[in-house]
Amino acid sequence: MELGQLEILLNFSQKCYNKSRMLSSFWQSGLQINTTTFTISNTENMFMAVGCDTIAYFNGYKQEIDRSFAMGCMSVCMNQSDVLNGTCSGIGCCQVEIPKKVTNFTLEASSFENHTEVLSFNPCSYAFIVKKGLFRFSSDNLTKIEDRTLPMVFDWTIGIEKCEHAQNKPGYVCGGKNTCYNPENGYGYRCSCKKGYDGNPYLRQGCKDVDECLLPNFNNCTLQKTCYNTEGNYTCSCPKWHRGDGRKDGKGSGGVGFIVLLMIKLRERFFRQNGGSLLSQQLSSQENAVETAKIFSVEELKKATNNYHENLIIGQGGFGTVYKGLLSDDRVVAIKKSKLVDKSQIEQFINEVLVLSQINHRNVVKLQGCCLETEVPLLVYEFISNNTLFEHIHHKGSLSPISWETRLKIAAETAEALSYLHSAASPPIIHRDVKSSNILLDGNYTTKVFDFGASRLIPLHQIEVATLVQGTLGYLDPEYLQTSQLTVKSDVYSFGVILVELLTGEKALSFDRSEEERNLAMYFLFAIKEDRLFEVLEQNLGIERNEKQLKEVANLARSCIKVKGEDRPTMKEVAAELEGLRKIDKHSWVNVDSNSEETKYLLGETSYPYKHDATIKSGVVYDSMKDDAIVDFNGER
């Protein structure tokens, strides 16, 4: 364990069921800390969950933003034999990295179906934080986890102020032969001995001079007998009949030249392993491709982002960090620096870059190019200036509220973009992470669908792709979760959740609602089933003025979030209906609230609660769904 860390034992969260599917034992785990002196170590711990019918939540608090947040993971399996011991990739066990600067938290383990299908070998859901490397998952853990407590690590700091502020105040403890530094995970500061000194930096005169000459690995002298210790350092002399500085590598340009050569070789290796040769070959064989997809050098992007300065960060997520950059031709761009890439999927990555670089749709963020000279490839996109849809809907204090007309426009443009990806792109593309935080808005509230880091290309003549379940809680298609079969209807479900966000102003996953209504899709379906639609709609939508339109969009959202993918409309049908509703709203001769025969014909005879799903195509009603009652979200999965 490193200096500045504290290890404790923590109970895990557990939820168990008996043969009657009734809750037999339940407890939540967590730790409330009323000071920012201690933060959960994001480098030493993992958040993990165990179970074959399990969804686990980590609810934390960050002092720096003065706001709570939630994250989680899901693990599923149908048989104990499906489990691969020693792995935690979503089959019986899942794990998530912990963010920086979390000061307090609670853990919650939950279940989708009360462990009905797996009760014989897995009656419980578990959630816990554990020090990395100290929990090795096996199929036996599905029956019982023996240890009630598991070790986890806290990082600690002195006070809650950084070095630059603390050093001018009473009580500052660094000084003399030690120095102050700001740890990455924490709100205060720490001390360390200066170079050439060792000891306890928190004790008075705790840092002592290190005699590098007595420790061969601590000095770089050609001969140990030519080493002379000095206070905080050492010198080397040359043997008789030699000249120089007495060090093995010298101080001339030879050492610097070697480092430069090494860096060049390293960049060449990264370029090759990231598929640079293949991408260059593909670009040269396509007309105009070089103009649409440029291969940037590492120096160009470093200069554009001021060496990836933290002040230029405009977004962070599970797949990486996005920086605002200024290219040499004065183009403002967004540069995505991913966390990792699967080396076995380089050819698919290159293919995806080629496809996205040729997508020219007004509602899809344009890919400008990439850089392959780093360990993980960098992607360069056009820069969109007006934040994400998530920010506009949910951070109401910082941004102006958006009207219902604008929301309908955003929904229609998003649907059009997804319809294009599913139907017009070749090969078709499943976005796989459709959510309001991946929808950017420009100054005119024009939609730009973003972040294809999780996207999958659909091979010709296939309608589904088998893949490990990946996505964002609250937006994840329940059918995809159960079968691991990804289809275009998975995007439809996620888009339906966005429609519900636009209607209600609620987050896709909220711990302010009861457990049964925590998932927004479930919450919305219950509200419609109980004839409470107008109770859950956001109040600034002009409900009386837009009542008919709101009902139609709510009906469409209900269709999109149906449990079975085959019962959902296609994105092409969704886009057509939304555009039809917008066109009706624009024509002055149509009053949405009137009872004229023309309005009834265009909108269909749908009444509330809805019995049919209709898609409007050029002024006629297209019946895209069979007559179907609302599905209980808990009842079928």
Catalytic (active-site) positions = 433
The secondary structure of residue 92, as a DSSP letter, is S
| Residue 530 burial (10 A CB sphere; 0-12, 13-18, 19+) | exposed
Please give the torsion angle defined by the CA atoms of residues 221, 227, 232 and 233, in that order, rounded to the nearest 10 degrees: -40
Q: Which residue has the tokens 């090759």?
A: 272
Beta bridge partners of 178: 193
Q: Which two tokens stand for residue 140?
A: 């036996």
Please give the C-alpha separations between residue 482 and each of 51, 485, 494, 590, in angstroms, as whole numbers. 14, 8, 16, 44
Q: Are 397 and 458 in contact (CB under 8 A)?
A: no
Please indicate if the annotation marks 208 as binding a ligand. no
Query: What is the number of alpha carbons within 13 Å of residue 482 lying toward its C-beta?
Result: 11
Cross-strand bridge partners of residue 111: 54
Angle between helices 571-586 and 488-504 (to 10 degrees): 30
- Rounded Cα distance between 631 and 633, Å, is 6
Neighbours of 433 (CB within 10 A): 23
Tokens coding 123: 């009656």
Question: Which residues are CB-contacts of 44 (< 8 A; sequence separation ≥ 6)?
Answer: 1, 5, 131, 132, 152, 153
Question: By the 8 A CB rule, do 109 and 71 touch?
Answer: no
Side chain identity at residue 588, one-letter code: S
Q: Is-contact 299 305, C-beta < 8 A?
A: no
For residue 59, which of 36, 75, 40 has the smallest C-alpha distance? 40
- Residue 166 burial (10 A CB sphere; 0-12, 13-18, 19+): buried
How does DSSP assign 383-425, residue by residue?
Answer: ---S-BHHHHHH-TTTSPPPPHHHHHHHHHHHHHHHHIIIIIS
CB 384 within 8 A of CB 445: no
Q: How far is CA 542 from CA 70, 403, 416, 539, 603, in A?
A: 31, 8, 25, 7, 19
Mark out the alpha helices in 507-614 (DSSP H runs): 520-529, 533-536, 547-560, 571-586, 597-603
Starting at the edge strand found earlier in the chain, the sheet holding 13-17 runs: 23-27, 13-17, 124-131, 45-50, 93-96
Residues annotated as binding site for ATP?
Answer: 337
